[in-house]
Amino acid sequence: MFESVFDVDPDSTEEELRIQVERLERMKSAAAAAQARATALWRSKRRAAETATGVPAARRGRGLACEVALARHDSPVRGGTHLGLASALVEEMPHTLAALECGALSEWRATLIVRESACLRVEHRRELDAELCADVSRLDGWGDKCVVAEAKAIAARLDVEAVVARSAKAAKDRCVTVRPAPDTMTYVTALLPVAQGVAVYAALKRAADTTFDDRSRGQIMADTLVERVTGRPAEQPVPVTLNLVLADTTLAGDDDAPGWLADYGPIPAGFARTLTGRAAADTAVKTMLRRLYRHPRSGQLVAMESQARIFPKGLATFLDLRDRTCRTPYCDAPIRQHDHARPAHRGGSTSALNGLGECEACNYTKEAPGWAVTTTDADGAHTAEFRTPTGAVYRSTAPPLPGPPTRTVSVIECGLSIDLVRFDAA
């Protein structure tokens, strides 16, 4: 019976396929509601168990968001969102939960409602919940923007001071992020208070209105942004540190294996050679070449040439290049801290084998009671095993260095890799 629900009959009519798609969408919402109930109950049981064992109130539930994320194969940040959503739906917003359960809301739209009501007191949040979702027929045909607009309007009517205070607090969350875009492009996003954001855009727009050449309006605005932030014309290399990793054979043009650019990801060989060539040709830009050594079988980083024997700085750079992003499974956050898999106070060594690149949240999470992390290095493959308080085990393996496929190993290469694989602090 279970399999038949997900079987797709190739002889189905279009109407039957549409009905099946609708039914599956309702099942997804119902599954999300069940996940919320299970997550909220998990949180309740964890807190009760920690209360019984005398864990201080401020530390109860620490690490649970990361466990939820791992169980859902998601990042720890999203785990916190899932945990907060579950708690709000089950404990404070029963009508929104019911709308999710019957398929009137998707999980994302339920999340939007919870998000927009987060600034309200519990009693006001329940009023919003009843007004917005008690009659699920009102939600028919609503898109994301309509759901957000209605939730915001109700929240402002119930407690305008809380909404204003939330807006004032939001300025503290201002930040700049970067993420890859297709064709070796990137999105640089700035989250700013509205006045500053509008001012930045107006300044770039003014530059485009007063510049007349063969560039498009968008190109002028983008080039102006680069020039004003870096202090150099957009077509010139920028004197900042870019960790670009590529094989020596790729640099020499003997193969076209992709390179790896930190905070971006894989880049084509031709683009990597162009980037390094321009930097080397510019006398105003300091360039440095550092040799990295990869294992002949796994292709992972096992050692690197150090410009100076300084620890932990040298080891930290090694971990950054080896791990690339946080080593917690499913977490792709930037590395912010370098820590011991086995804590130093429990005898863990300061070494490449025991070292991990972690984001701040994951580093603190694995210090919570019941967590254990171990590392192994088999044939040059550095693997970290994370064991949660409920006994689940998740693994992450460091990615191989960019370059052509590893060659058949000779005896000399084996000896070399063994000599280099230990990278301990002095």
Buried residues in 110-121 as b, exposed as e (16+ CB within 10 A) = bbbbbebbebbe
Q: How many residues does the chain have?
A: 426
Q: What mean pLDDT comes out for the span 149-178? A: 88
> Which is more confident, 330 or 272?
330
Q: What mean pLDDT comes out for the span 371-378? A: 91
Q: CA-CA distance, 222 to 182, in Å (whole number)?
A: 17
Q: Give the predicted TM-score (pTM) of the model.
A: 0.72
Instruction: Band the pLDDT of 288: cuts 50, 70, 90.
Output: low
Looking at every residue in the chain, the average pLDDT score rounds to 84
Q: CA-CA distance, 91 to 39, in Å (whole number)?
A: 12
Model pLDDT, residue 414:
31
Instruction: Band the pLDDT of 364: cuts 50, 70, 90.
Output: confident
Least confident of 84-93, 138-147, 251-260, 360-369: 251-260
Residues above pLDDT 70, as percent of the chain: 85
Instruction: Band the pLDDT of 352: cuts 50, 70, 90.
Output: confident
Residues above pLDDT 90, as percent of the chain: 48
pLDDT > 80? residue 24: yes
- 82, 207, 330, 399 from 72: Cα distances, Å: 9, 47, 9, 22
Least confident of 2-11, 39-48, 174-183, 311-320: 311-320
